[in-house]
Amino acid sequence: MFRFLVRRVLGAMVILLIISAVTFWLFYAIPRDPAMMSCGKNCTPDMLKQVRHNLGIDHPVPVQYWYWLKGLFVGRSYGDFGNCNAPCLGYSFANREPVLGTILDRLPLTLSLAFGSAVVFLVFGVGTGMIAAVKQGKWQDKVASSASLIGSSLQIYFVGYIAMYFLVAKLGVLDNPSYTPITDNPLDWASGLLLPWLVLALIWTANYTRMTRSQLVETLTEDYVRTARAKGLSRRNVFFRFAWRGAMGPIVTIFGIDLGTLIGGAMITETVFSLQGVGRLAVDAVNKSDLPMVLGVTLLSAGAIVLFNIVVDAVYALIDPRIRLA
């Protein structure tokens, strides 16, 4: 297990390094001058030159990338703008603030949105899929399959605005989406994010219903499941002890990727509900050509996906006894 985790962590570091290098290179294909944006309206040539020097963008691109990498471990100075302590993800061109501090300020909202919605769509999606698999061919299966087909075709930017109009503006049954730290007031925290949770769950539940049903239907026909049933074990015992555990592997894999994506920033969701999380931060950074912020959010998203994939692989053996990590 230890050797496996070491290999995966080293592989993850290589992947993140490649992603950062590609993002850095692609940014400079955009014909915009971030120094001009940071300098302001009354910018003179001398001021522009000084801003480029302070931001470190007066060097060739490979040199800039090297300085950025070195800043992760030893920090970096940005002249008149100030210092950025390690681990330094850069200095925002637009906000003139360290990237890491800005991301950490926005991260609690994104984490709340991701984990809250994940709990809802995982419970309802897997539960509905289990019912559909057990009642295969019956009306429960047909209703669940039809509902999941409709739900998977919906889009967040459509459902979100419709839900905002009816549930908030028209009927007033839910609060307008907002964020209150859970440490300040747990009830306000939950009520402010309830609508985004429900909208995300409506769409993602459909996918997990279909996945769970298909995996369970396939697993129930496996030889080891039929053997357990033939030995006299109850249907309930066979289902939860053998079939359910055997079907959860692919579902857990997809869940790890989905949760990592949500933590990396649900851009459309946060934009639709006007929530100032990491996803909205990424959108604003792209519009402003703010390379350090774009790079920081990209690494956060990629790192979250890679991390949860490692966790998923590590718990595979606990979920399915047929799998052993070498």
Look at residue 311 in the predicted model and tell me its pLDDT.
Answer: 81
Right CATH number for 103-323 from 1.10.340.30, 1.10.3720.10, 3.20.20.20, 3.90.180.10? 1.10.3720.10
Query: Quick one: which H or E segment has residue 77?
Result: strand 76-77
Looking up tokens 């049933």 gives 229
Tally of CA atoms within 13 A in the half-sphere of 277 that contains its CB: 32
- Whether pTM > 0.85 for this model: the answer is no
- Give the integer Cα–Cα distance in Å for 151 and 204: 8
Look at residue 180 in the predicted model and tell me its pLDDT.
Answer: 92
Beta bridge partners of 84: 76
Whether residue 285 is predicted with pLDDT greater than 90 in this model: the reply is no
AA identity, residue 252: V
**pLDDT tens track for 7-46:** 888 888 898 889 888 888 877 766 666 667 667 677 777 8
Query: Quick one: which H or E segment has residue 83?
Result: strand 83-84
- Give the integer Cα–Cα distance in Å for 78 and 190: 40
Q: Other CB atoms closer than 10 Å to residue 244's CB: what's the count? A: 19
Look at residue 324 in the predicted model and tell me its pLDDT.
Answer: 56
Listed by start position, the domains of the chain span 34-88, 103-323
Beta bridge partners of 91: 98
Looking up tokens 């990727």 gives 257
Beta bridge partners of 76: 84
**pLDDT tens track for 158-212:** 888 899 999 988 888 888 899 999 999 999 999 999 999 988 888 888 888 888 8
Q: Which of 250, 268, 263 is nearest to 154 (CA)?
A: 268
Q: Which position has the higher pLDDT, 111 or 91?
A: 111
- Give the integer Cα–Cα distance in Å for 278 and 296: 10
Look at residue 298 in the predicted model and tell me its pLDDT.
Answer: 86
Look at residue 30 in the predicted model and tell me its pLDDT.
Answer: 66
Whether residue 304 is predicted with pLDDT greater than 90 in this model: the reply is no
DSSP tally for the chain: helices H, then strands E: 14, 2
> For the chain, what percent of residues have pLDDT higher than 90?
10
Q: What is the mean pLDDT of the chain?
A: 83
**pLDDT tens track for 209-250:** 888 888 888 888 888 778 877 877 777 777 777 777 777 777
Which of helix, strand or coil describes residue 76?
A: strand
**pLDDT tens track for 12-21:** 889 888 988 8
Q: Which of 179, 177, 198 is nearest to 124 (CA)?
A: 198
Q: Which position has the higher pLDDT, 103 or 83?
A: 103
